[in-house]
């Protein structure tokens, strides 16, 4: 894991590496409404975490979300074989050109995940770049939305002591930093 950027006195870090290897209270999964796994980071989390996570996801589908988890919402399972204690599964928006409410749903996915972590009394949370892979959300636009909401969060008396933004590639972390750094370091 390589750190590419640090903000808010180290409480927000931008890193490059494999999300599934992190030792954090919870990591966030960029899932789909079915919650039964998929490609990208979702596939990696289920592979590394083992069958316990899938079992809990099936139970959540059966009891709380028989029609699937709506985009912008989040649910929590244990971390199975991961070093993370919990996995917070959220569903980002599928990119449809930008005028179908995608920005708001992306922000909701991040906020719901943070709320899940806070409700469990956790202190550290790691995010992947939700929706910017298979779901096709433009990376630079996502960075500006995420930076805006994280700035609001850290200036508004955060309960979490640490949030880590984890990018699979150094190039993706660079795009994020180029867009996000001016927003994160600028005055409120
Ligand atoms: N660690 C960190 N980042 C990763 C990892 C990893 N191990 N693997 C991929 N990424 P995606 P989405 C990055 O496609 O766009 C799945 O099939 C990847 O480079 O995982 O929200 C689900 O089941 C990209 O920057 O999520 C859904 O059907 C980012 O994670 C759908 O894809 C997100 O890419 C969700 O699509």
**pLDDT value for 119:** 97
- What is the set of active-site residues? 42
- Which residue owns the Cα nearest ligand 1 atom 33? 133
Q: Which atom of ligand 1 is nearest to the CA of 45?
A: 7
- Which residue owns the Cα nearest ligand 1 atom 5? 41
- Our mutation pick for probing the ligand 1 site, out of 13, 18, 40, counting the most ligand atoms within 8 A of Cβ, is 40
Is 31 near ligand 1, meaning CB less than 6 Å away? yes
**pLDDT value for 188:** 59
User: Residue 79 burial (CB < 10 Å; 0-12/13-18/19+)?
Assistant: buried
Characterize the bridge pairing of strands 12-16 and 2-7: antiparallel
- Which residue owns the Cα nearest ligand 1 atom 34? 133
**pLDDT value for 15:** 98
User: Residue 46 burial (CB < 10 Å; 0-12/13-18/19+)?
Assistant: buried
**pLDDT value for 29:** 98
* Per-residue pLDDT of the chain in tens (188 residues, 90 and over written 9): 898 899 999 999 999 999 999 999 999 999 999 999 999 999 999 999 999 999 999 999 999 999 999 999 999 999 999 999 999 999 999 999 999 999 999 999 999 999 999 999 999 999 999 999 999 999 999 999 999 999 999 999 999 999 999 999 999 999 999 999 999 997 65
DSSP assignment, residue 140?
H
How many A from CA of 187 to the centre of ligand 1? Answer: 32
- Which residue owns the Cα nearest ligand 1 atom 12? 131
Q: Under DSSP, is residue 13 helix (H, G, I), strand (E, B) or coil?
A: strand
- Our mutation pick for probing the ligand 1 site, out of 13, 30, 110, counting the most ligand atoms within 8 A of Cβ, is 30
**pLDDT value for 1:** 80
The encoded tokens of residue 125 equal: 């949370």
Q: CA triplet 166, 167, 168: central angle to 5 degrees?
A: 125
Q: Do residues 45 and 56 lie in contact, with contact meaning Cβ atoms separated by under 8 Å?
A: no
Read off the pTM: 0.97
Q: Which domains does the chain have, with CATH numbers?
A: 2-185 (3.40.220.10)
């Amino acid at each position: 894991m390589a750190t590419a950027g640090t903000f808010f006195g180290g409480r927000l870090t931008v890193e490059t590496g494999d999300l599934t290897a992190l030792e954090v209270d919870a990591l966030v999964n960029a899932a789909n409404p079915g919650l039964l796994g998929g490609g990208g980071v979702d596939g990696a989390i289920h592979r590394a975490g083992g069958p316990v996570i899938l079992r809990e996801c099936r139970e959540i589908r059966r009891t709380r979300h028989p029609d699937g988890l709506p985009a912008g919402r989040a649910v929590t399972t244990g971390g199975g074989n991961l070093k993370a204690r919990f996995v917070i599964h959220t569903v980002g928006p599928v990119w449809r050109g930008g005028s179908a409410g995608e920005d708001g749903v992306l922000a909701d996915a991040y906020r719901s995940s943070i709320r899940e972590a806070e409700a469990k009394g956790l202190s550290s949370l790691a995010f992947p770049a939700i929706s910017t892979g298979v779901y096709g959300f433009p990376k630079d636009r996502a960075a500006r939305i995420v930076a805006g909401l994280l700035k609001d969060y850290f200036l508004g008396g955060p309960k979490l002591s640490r949030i880590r933004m984890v990018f699979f590639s150094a190039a993706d972390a660079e795009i994020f930093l180029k867009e996000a750094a001016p927003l994160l370091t600028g005055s409120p």
